Chain A
Amino acid sequence: MSNRTVVPFGPQHPVLPEPIHLDLVLEDELVVEAIPSIGFIHRGLEKLVEKKDFIEFVYVAERICGICSFIHGQTYCQGIEELMKIQVPDRALFLRTIWGEMSRIHSHTLWLGLMADAFGFESLFMHSWRIRERLLDIIEETTGGRVIFGSCKIGGVRRDINSEVLQRIQGELNQMEKEMKEIANVFIKDKSVKNRLVGIGVLSRSEALMLGAVGPMLRASGVSQDMRKLGYAAYKNVEFEPITSEDGDSYARCVVRIKEVFQSFDIIRQCIQKIPAGPVDIKVTGNPSGEFFSRTEQPRGEVVYYLKANGTKNLERMRVRTPTFSNIPSIVKVIPGSQLADIPVLLLTIDPCISCTER
């Protein structure tokens, strides 16, 4: 047996500004064990629910994460709406879906750029973020924010998008889709990309299920599960099928995300065609009561908000289970057997977001 060495990896990642630490046990260059360590940025946001009333807390929920900020707010709002039996206007549901899918494109193109940067493909990184930048301009135009949208509220949304702007957005998205195809071709076909991703960190279908993997991590292992199929917001009105791959390796996770970007373009297109006229919010009165698990599909996977209310303005409990929290065990299981040089790229394939994981 070779000598065993423990290499501390992180909490600084070469390309990812997220603090996760791994103790990697090596035999020569081969990793034989990985012990994860998080907890550097726990902010106690769940505890804040005792001080902020249930309407104010939307602002806190949106700030749990900077990338899926909108979907955090949406998941919280739809949980409260469920407890209060609020019927949100259809137009608001379509707008939530449009902004939610924009968040997905934004998150996936950000991840693609980081991934390209991680394996040293700088031009691909720049092109991925160029597209993302154009999408951020659309988000800024329609919500007023580039990171925190601030457009979701209990009972609907704060802003409408008029039909002229929607048509223009449609045209811009069509153009972005064409450019995205060129980048996607490089990610899918380029030999140097394949060399770094194919066969790295294979997670089988049964492992993915039993380790609680979610999102692209789960679907890349052949499990067709996507919380959007629950039919929340306007997803019951659009046609789409979860994107899956059978290989379960890093390349499969990359391909799933690329295909999901195109799927998001398509869902936004369908929403723009089908969005009904009408109000975008309704007046909310009273306080919530009861308990509910609100589940949605973030770019990184299923997010769960547990809300427990007792009829007062402050919730009794608000708990968030983020997708990264659920994906950490899977990555810890697939790391053994990998080369040390592959770890930064492999860790990136779960698209970790530690700030929202620790809340």
Chain B
Amino acid sequence: MIEDQKMLDINLTDLNTLIQTCFDELYRLVQIGCTKTGEGYEVNYSFDKNYKFVNYKIKLKSNEEEIPSITGIYWNAFLYENELHDLFGLKIKGINVDFQGKLYKLAQPFPFSCGPEIKIVEKKEEKKNEQ
């Protein structure tokens, strides 16, 4: 084992309180990431203090559930939160620097996670219906 990692599942309602505690205890924000799990999503918030690694995970039933932004606590979280929005279509409320879906400048609009092939099929079906 390279390092012991603490992995904790938390409720969305407890998110801000826990993140505030991490900030007060001088934990460094390591990363925020998302995983698609069937219809739902898992969002990981990872922290480090003196090589002690802690990860908090929240589970969402769909990307319609709104997550409060943590940029009011960790200012630097804005890039991660914009990424979650662009790649997974997650709704994050109150990001301090909100790129409005344009952090990644791609030809197709956010989110990109459903894959271009699906979007092409959807467009073809739309055209068929119009005809």
Which residues of A, 6-51, contact B by the 8 Å Cβ criterion? Answer: 35, 37-40, 42, 44, 47
- A321 with B5: in contact, given A38-B103, A42-B104 (CB under 8 Å)? no
Which residues of A, 207-225, contact B by the 8 Å Cβ criterion? Answer: 209-212, 225
A-B contact pairs, 10 of them (CB 8 A): A35-B97, A38-B103, A39-B102, A42-B105, A47-B113, A295-B53, A308-B35, A321-B31, A321-B33, A326-B76
Which of B22-30, B60-68, B123-131 makes up part of the contact surface?
Answer: B22-30
In the assembled complex, the Cα of A358 lies from the Cα of B30 at a distance in Å of 17
The interface residues of chain B lying within 8 Å CB-to-CB of A225 are 50-51
In the assembled complex, the Cα of A40 lies from the Cα of B102 at a distance in Å of 10
A230 and B78 form a contact (CB under 8 A)? no
A159 within 8 A of B: no
Closest to A357 in B: B79
A304 and B2 form a contact (CB under 8 A)? no
- A230 with B51: in contact, given A317-B35, A321-B30 (CB under 8 Å)? yes
B20 within 8 A of A: no
Closest to B7 in A: A291
B36 to chain A, nearest CB (A): 8
B118 within 8 A of A: no
B104 and A39 form a contact (CB under 8 A)? yes
A129 within 8 A of B: no
B3 and A316 form a contact (CB under 8 A)? no
The interface residues of chain B lying within 8 Å CB-to-CB of A119 are none
Closest to A230 in B: B3
Besides A229-B51, A304-B30, A329-B78, 6 more A-B contacts (Cβ < 8 Å) are: A82-B2, A209-B28, A210-B23, A304-B46, A317-B36, A326-B76
Provide the A316-359 mask, 1 if CB < 8 A to any CB of B, else 0.
11010100011011100100000000000000000000000010
A325 and B79 form a contact (CB under 8 A)? yes
Per the CB 8 Å criterion, the residue count for chain B at the interface is: 36
- A212 with B33: in contact, given A38-B103, A42-B106, A230-B3 (CB under 8 Å)? no
A231 within 8 A of B: yes
* Contact surface of B with A, Cβ cutoff 8 Å: 1-3, 5, 7, 23, 26, 28-31, 33, 35-37, 44, 46, 50-51, 53, 55, 74-76, 78-79, 97, 99, 102-106, 112-113, 115
Name the interface size band of chain A: 35 or more
A231 and B30 form a contact (CB under 8 A)? no
In the assembled complex, the Cα of A231 lies from the Cα of B106 at a distance in Å of 40
* Contact surface of A with B, Cβ cutoff 8 Å: 35, 37-40, 42, 44, 47, 78, 82, 209-212, 225, 227, 229-232, 291-295, 302, 304, 306, 308, 316-317, 319, 321, 325-326, 328-330, 333, 358
B108 to chain A, nearest CB (A): 11
The interface residues of chain B lying within 8 Å CB-to-CB of A333 are 75
The interface residues of chain B lying within 8 Å CB-to-CB of A229 are 51
In the assembled complex, the Cα of A328 lies from the Cα of B103 at a distance in Å of 13
A82 and B30 form a contact (CB under 8 A)? no
In the assembled complex, the Cα of A177 lies from the Cα of B2 at a distance in Å of 31
A156 to chain B, nearest CB (A): 16
In the assembled complex, the Cα of A358 lies from the Cα of B75 at a distance in Å of 20
Closest to B33 in A: A319
B5 and A293 form a contact (CB under 8 A)? yes
The interface residues of chain B lying within 8 Å CB-to-CB of A329 are 75-76, 78-79
- A209 with B26: in contact, given A42-B106, A319-B33, A358-B104 (CB under 8 Å)? yes
A188 to chain B, nearest CB (A): 29
A60 to chain B, nearest CB (A): 17
